[in-house]
Amino acid sequence: MSEPLLRIDHVTLRFGGLVANADVSLDVPEGQILGLLGPNGAGKSTLFNLISGTYQPSEGRIFFRGEDITPLSAPERCRRGIARTFQVPRSFDSMNVLENVIVGGFARHAGAAAARRRALETLDFAGLAHRAEAVAGELTPPEKRRLEVARALATRPKLLLLDEVLTGLTPSEAKAGVELIRKVAASGVTVIMVEHVMEVVMPLVDRAVVLHLGRVLAEGHPTEVVRHEGVITAYLGERHRAA
């Protein structure tokens, strides 16, 4: 078997007496769309912070493309090909859309002209080219989420971490978001996504991992995971069982 793109090896993170992630091990093959699921407080965003370099684990190691990246900072991991969005979109609201994405382009290009070219390509890819000159603070919530994806893509990632990019969208907006995620994956970028909209996520992801109380509760094909007794009890609820 080939080396996975990302390997999380027995990772634990403690904040004093609180264990946010506990002995998490996970392999993510290249080219996969992985859904990271679980109730609020399960440790999903914390795990994103560990992968992206915001936090350092208390125990365990993280490997990316065969390299131990555990001691590396978030900017160093970004340069190696890990990019992310945030649960609450973070844009430079006084700058326009193009300028926001140029910021991402500088992760790969030292020159302003090259970063601008990359940003324009990415905006076209993400369906935001027509909003390039709009002030970021004036964007609608769906556009702001798409802007975050575009800025992350401008860094030319191998792995893209999407934190609830479909949450709060209308059905038509969510459908457009799904199409963009599929387009990203088809371009060769591996995707890990945290999401709560089960009806949207399950047909989209190749594999699902459910966290509960900081631990991996279940993983496998989405149709298997939603039938897992522990997942129904801890996350999906009795109405799902009845359905």
| Neighbour order of strands in the sheet with 59-64 | 18-28, 6-15, 59-64, 67-68
With residue 218 as reference, give the H or E element that holds it.
Answer: strand 215-220
pLDDT number for residue 234: 79
The Cα–Cα gap between 116 and 107 comes to: 12
> What's the CATH number of domain 1-80+159-243, 3.90.550.10, 3.40.50.300, 3.40.30.10, 2.40.110.10?
3.40.50.300
Query: Is this model's pTM higher than 0.85 or not?
Result: yes
Crossing angle (nearest 10°) for helices 112-126 and 97-105: 120
Which ranges in the chain are annotated with CATH 3.40.50.300?
1-80+159-243
The Cα–Cα gap between 210 and 39 comes to: 9
- What's 178's DSSP letter? H
- pLDDT digit string (tens) for the chain, length 243 residues: 578 999 999 999 999 999 999 999 999 999 999 999 988 889 999 999 999 999 999 999 999 999 999 999 999 999 999 999 998 888 999 999 999 999 999 998 889 999 999 999 999 999 999 999 999 999 998 999 999 999 999 999 999 999 999 988 898 999 999 999 999 999 999 999 998 877 788 899 999 999 999 999 999 999 898 888 888 887 777 665 555
